[in-house]
């Protein structure tokens, strides 16, 4: 009651409209825009205007920071470096490639013969060369996770997708169940672990049904159902549920590595076919979309083309009364112009009604503190931020905020409390330096 | 390409759904007040009419009095908005602001705190103190430091109690003729006699069952524990209040009163039961110490607040000038809501690490010192069982 951790809350999923329709491939857009930005890191273009590129060719890198590598997702001609709207909410320089519709693959993309004899180091090297990043939303380069010195007991595959409206992981898993298990197995070998745990939501029982037939071939895999609450997909929550252990910094402290399910499927292709990260699933959903559905698209595709494939926006949509959200509705970002491109962390674009109306002041009900999964007191952090009291922000652990959005969600007075806490966190970080 | 609206994550909000939000919370508080209002009307109107002590029109007076309290505070808040908002002085703007500041609740609670025969001009004065001084001057809903209704009640209680008593006070026509009451409430008897004695304190009013049902003399809303519990249960089920805030508050008073009774030679459970069933403890526990704006926000803060409040209530019963102790202690503790909120928030995150442990130590230490002081003080007032402590105080 007093020192107990919040257990998360149930939020209506609103996934059904999109779940009914199977995922579609949309692999040959006319143009793609490969952003020269990944996880707040600027990249250097490795190709110049006029070059012919093949699918899988290296086009941008940053070797200083975590060796980020980005590859061409279609074959064709580089026609320019142009600004494009990126899911970070900014316009970002991007490499524009015009499709020649020949689908030429780079020579390195071929079947790997000796898959079963690959060592741990070779698997991690493949991860690094394929430029695999977390497709769940944080976009952390995966090979860094596996270069840990800690003893890893298990690899956890996060198939939870706890935010409302999101269905791309669900679709991707049910389409490629065996690839998921294979990719997870390669992850397990890359970590020298003994088992794989696939964590999914009880709500998404179809995931269990899809994986069940293959489990006899993969005896080291176990399925772990998780309650249908938010934020069940948060890394720390899953680790605590699965291992009953907790950690402060990285999951490796608890002897596990957590990876998103789409990452595992991508890694399976990277190991068996040497295909780098060039495509990802995206859901287009929300009340503003005529026929919501999910797509498997090359990175750099324009979202507006996908929206058109969904039948466009609903009739008579007044854009100024709708939000165009990059990412999930709990943690995503409102994009002002619907000219977004798909990048590695973009799992969904949601068009839904913007909030309107006037609401009363904070009444001090304390619901925000009750639901906080890291047991902070958002109201006090907000006050401390408004007074610019850095010491108090430190005492209130403002840096522990995971920006899950639950405090704003639950607030009966519709206060932007998550934003205030996030600002407090920034102030503490700057002030502490 | 189109230009879309801005906004901040999360884009899904519970407050945009039906049946959730601050307006619903405040509506629930009004619903929870309903059994209290109805019982008060029954006890002071209908039953007295059945007894044949008042006429038919007068039967509606208690209900009228409570509703006029709510109406007055809405009216005053409306006038305040009309006068202060120079740029947008329209009825529509005033109505919109009123819909966001829940003006009726302080007035209703104020009327429930006052005696039945409070003159209407005193009610108007009290409503002015409550809404304008207690709420609007501080910045309106969400910014007030003191519980508005309680502030209005306290000011009237300190200054105009004589006027109220001359006008008939809290005894309805049926109660005024009962000789056994001798013109005093149960707590009034405790203050005047200074004796912990079942025959003096409980027997004149019937039994403790009457205390629980609420057929004893007292202010309009405070007497019936039963009606208040109904309201409280509704609020707990609707998740408007936490069940433990009232329970800890009432429990603290119960335990301390039990010890005081035992020290003075009567260890029966009737005295603690009498203590929590009289003087508006129940009403405050459900409707006032859970009032979100003027009490701490986080769970730990609520727990400490209720504990401190329980100790202060017992203390002020024996040393304060208002016999209840409830109002005085709550007004006093309202001042400390902000620091309690801040310190308990640090304790929540830092636990026993610096500086959380220090704050926890300070709060617990203060609480223990106060509780011991209260016990000694109360004991010393009634007996000479612990004379060696007399010189300490």
User: What pLDDT shows up at residue B393?
Assistant: 44
Q: Is the peptide bond before B10 cis (omega within 30 degrees of 0)?
A: yes
Please tell me whether residues A377 and A275 are part of one structural domain. no
Say yes or no to pLDDT of B185 above 90.
no
The string of pLDDT tens digits covering residues B239-278 is 999 999 999 999 999 999 888 888 776 768 898 999 899 8
| Whether residues A295 and A422 fall in one domain | no
Considering only residues B385 and A252, tell me which one the structure prediction assigns the higher pLDDT.
A252
Q: In the structure encoding, which two tokens stand for residue A5, read together? A: 């951790």
Give the residue-averaged pLDDT of B378-384: 57
B323-337 pLDDT per residue, tens: 668 888 999 999 999
Q: Are residues A423 and A334 in the same domain?
A: no
* Chain A hits for B142, Cβ within 8 Å: 360-364, 413
Q: Is A255 left (phi over 0), alpha (psi -120 to 50) or beta?
A: left
Write down which residue in A331, A356, A381 finishes a domain.
A356
Q: Which residue has the tokens 């105009």?
A: B160
CB pairs under 8 A between A and B: 187
pLDDT band at B6 (very low <50, low <70, confident <90, very high): confident
Residues near A411 by Cβ (< 8 Å), separated by ≥ 6?
A: A362, A367, A368, A417, B13, B14, B15
Q: For residues A161 and A267, state if they share a domain.
A: yes
Angle, CA of B281, B285 and B286, to the nearest 5°: 125
Phi, psi of A65 (to 5 degrees): -105, 100
**Residue A2 counted as domain residue:** yes
pLDDT of residue A340: 92
CB < 8 Å from B in window 380-419 of A? 380, 383, 392, 395-397, 400, 403, 405-406, 408-414, 416, 418-419
Tokens of A142: 């995966």
How high is the pLDDT of residue B25? 93
CB contact under 8 A, A395 and B349: yes
CA distance A273 to A107: 11
Within 94-153 of A, beta carbons closer than 8 Å to B belong to none
In a domain, A163, yes or no: yes
CB contact (8 A) between residue A405 and residue B298? no
- Residue ranges making up the domain that contains A394: 367-432
Distance from CA of B146 to the nearest CA of A (A): 13
Q: Give the domain CATH number at A155.
A: 3.40.50.11540
- Which residue, chain included where needed, has tokens 């001798």? B182
Same domain, A119 and A249: yes
How many distinct structural domains can be found in chain A? Answer: 2
pLDDT of B80-118, one tens digit each?
999 998 888 888 989 999 999 999 999 999 999 999 999
Q: What pLDDT is attached to residue B384?
A: 46
Regarding whether A199 and A250 lie in a shared domain, the answer is yes
pLDDT at B41 over 90: yes
A166 lies in the same domain as A258: yes
Same-domain status, A251 and A182: yes
pLDDT at A125 over 50: yes
pLDDT in tens, A59-106: 999 888 788 899 999 999 999 999 999 988 889 999 999 999 988 899
C-alpha to C-alpha distance for B354 and B22, rounded to whole angstroms: 36
CB A78 within 8 A of CB A27: no
Domain boundary among A328, A356, A384: A356
A219 and A240 together in one domain: yes
**Phi, psi of A221, deg, nearest 5:** -95, 130
∠ Cα A23 A24 A26 (to 5°): 140
Terminal-to-terminal C-alpha distance of chain B: 79
Question: What is residue A2's predicted lDDT score, i.e. its pLDDT?
Answer: 52
Torsion angle of the four alpha carbons B79, B84, B87, B93, in this order, in degrees rounded to the nearest 10: -40
Q: Does one domain contain both A425 and A345? A: no
Residue B11 to residue B389: CA distance in whole angstroms: 63
Distance (Å) of CA A115 to CA A112, A189, A269 = 6, 11, 11
Task: Identify which of B217, B212, B282, B274 has the alpha carbon closest to the alpha carbon of residue B246.
Answer: B282
Tell me if A246 sits within 8 A of A27, measured CB to CB.
no
For chain A, give the mean pLDDT: 90
On whether both A178 and A309 belong to a single domain, the answer is yes
* Residue whose C-alpha is closest to residue A19's, from A168, A200, A192: A168
Q: Is A228 inside any structural domain? A: yes
Paired residues of A44 in beta bridges? A61
Q: How many CB atoms lie within 10 A of CB B20?
A: 15
Query: Residue for token digits 């701490």?
Result: B296
Same domain, A285 and A388: no
Look at residue A83 and tell me if it is in a domain: no
pLDDT at B392 over 70: no
* Cα distances (angstroms) measured from residue A193 to each of A179, A186, A221: 19, 10, 11
């Amino acid at each position: 009651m007093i020192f107990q951790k919040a257990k998360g809350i149930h939020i209506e999923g609103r996934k059904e409209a999109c779940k009914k329709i199977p995922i579609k491939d949309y692999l040959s857009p006319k143009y793609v825009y490969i952003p020269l930005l990944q996880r707040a890191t600027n990249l250097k273009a490795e190709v110049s205007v006029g070059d012919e590129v093949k699918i899988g060719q290296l086009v941008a890198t940053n070797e200083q920071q975590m060796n980020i590598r980005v590859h061409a997702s279609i074959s064709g001609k580089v026609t320019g470096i142009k600004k494009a709207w990126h899911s970070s909410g900014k316009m970002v320089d991007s490499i524009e490639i015009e499709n020649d519709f020949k689908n030429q693959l780079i020579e390195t993309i071929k079947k790997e013969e000796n898959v079963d004899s690959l060592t741990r180091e070779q698997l991690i090297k493949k991860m690094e060369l394929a430029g695999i990043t977390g497709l769940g939303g944080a976009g952390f380069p995966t090979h860094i996770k596996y270069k840990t010195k800690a003893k890893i007991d298990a690899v956890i595959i996060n198939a939870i997708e706890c935010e409302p409206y999101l269905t791309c992981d669900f679709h991707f898993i049910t389409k490629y169940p065996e690839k998921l298990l294979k990719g997870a197995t390669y992850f397990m070998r890359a970590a020298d672990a003994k088992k794989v745990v696939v964590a999914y939501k009880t709500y998404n029982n179809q995931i269990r049904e899809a994986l069940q037939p293959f489990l006899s071939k993969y005896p080291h895999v176990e399925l772990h159902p998780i309650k249908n609450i938010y934020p069940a997909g948060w890394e720390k929550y899953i680790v605590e549920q699965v291992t009953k252990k907790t950690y402060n910094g990285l999951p490796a402290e608890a002897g596990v590595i957590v990876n998103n399910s789409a990452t595992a499927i991508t890694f399976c292709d990277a190991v068996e076919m040497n295909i780098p990260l060039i495509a990802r699933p995206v859901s287009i959903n929300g009340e503003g979309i005529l026929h919501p559905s999910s797509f498997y698209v090359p990175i750099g595709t324009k979202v507006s083309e996908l929206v058109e494939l969904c039948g466009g926006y609903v009739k008579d949509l007044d854009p100024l009364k709708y939000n165009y959200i990059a990412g999930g509705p709990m943690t995503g970002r409102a994009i002002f112009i619907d000219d977004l491109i798909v990048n590695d962390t973009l799992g969904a674009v949601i068009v839904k009604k913007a909030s309107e109306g006037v609401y009363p002041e904070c009444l001090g009900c304390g619901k925000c503190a009750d639901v906080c999964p890291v047991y902070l007191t958002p109201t006090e952090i907000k006050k401390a931020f408004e007074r610019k009291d850095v010491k108090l922000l430190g005492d209130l652990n403002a840096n522990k905020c995971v920006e899950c959005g639950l405090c704003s969600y639950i607030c009966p007075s519709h206060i932007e409390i998550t934003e205030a806490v996030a600002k407090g966190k920034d102030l503490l970080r700057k002030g502490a330096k | 390409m189109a230009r879309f609206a801005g906004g901040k994550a999360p884009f899904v909000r519970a407050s945009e759904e039906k049946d959730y939000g601050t307006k619903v919370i405040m509506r629930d508080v009004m619903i929870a007040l309903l059994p209290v209002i109805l019982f008060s009307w029954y006890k002071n109107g209908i039953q007295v009419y059945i007894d044949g002590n008042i006429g038919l029109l007068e039967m509606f007076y208690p209900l009228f009095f409570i509703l006029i309290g709510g109406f007055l505070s809405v009216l005053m808040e409306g006038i305040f908005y009309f006068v202060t908002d120079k740029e947008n002085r329209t009825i529509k703007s005033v109505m919109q602001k009123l819909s966001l500041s829940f003006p009726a609740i302080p007035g209703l609670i104020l009327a429930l705190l006052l005696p039945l025969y409070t003159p209407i001009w005193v009610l108007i004065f009290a409503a002015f103190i409550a809404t304008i001084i207690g709420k609007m001057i501080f910045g309106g809903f969400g910014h007030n430091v003191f519980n508005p209704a309680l502030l209005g009640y306290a000011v009237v209680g300190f200054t105009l109690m004589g006027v109220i008593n001359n006008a008939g006070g809290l005894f309805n026509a049926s109660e005024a003729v009962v000789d056994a009451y001798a013109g005093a409430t149960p707590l009034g008897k405790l203050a005047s006699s200074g004796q912990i004695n079942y025959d003096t304190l409980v027997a004149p009013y019937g039994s403790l069952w009457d205390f629980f049902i609420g057929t004893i003399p007292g202010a309009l809303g405070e007497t019936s524990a039963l009606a208040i519990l109904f309201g409280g249960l509704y609020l707990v089920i609707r998740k408007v209040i936490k069940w433990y805030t009232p329970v800890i508050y009432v429990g603290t008073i119960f335990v301390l009163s039990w010890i005081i009774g035992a020290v003075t030679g009567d260890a029966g459970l009737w005295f603690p039961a009498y203590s929590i069933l009289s003087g508006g403890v129940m009403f405050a526990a459900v409707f006032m110490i859970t009032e979100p704006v003027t009490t701490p926000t986080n769970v730990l803060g609520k727990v400490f607040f209720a504990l401190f409040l329980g100790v202060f209530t017992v203390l002020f019963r024996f040393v304060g000038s208002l016999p209840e102790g409830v109002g005085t202690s709550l007004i006093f503790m309202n001042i400390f809501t902000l620091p309690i909120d801040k310190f308990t928030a640090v304790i929540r995150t830092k636990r026993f690490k610096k500086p959380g442990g220090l704050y926890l130590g300070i709060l617990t230490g203060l609480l223990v010192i106060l509780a011991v002081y209260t016990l000694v003080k109360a004991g010393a007032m009634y007996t000479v069982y612990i004379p060696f402590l007399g010189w300490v105080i």
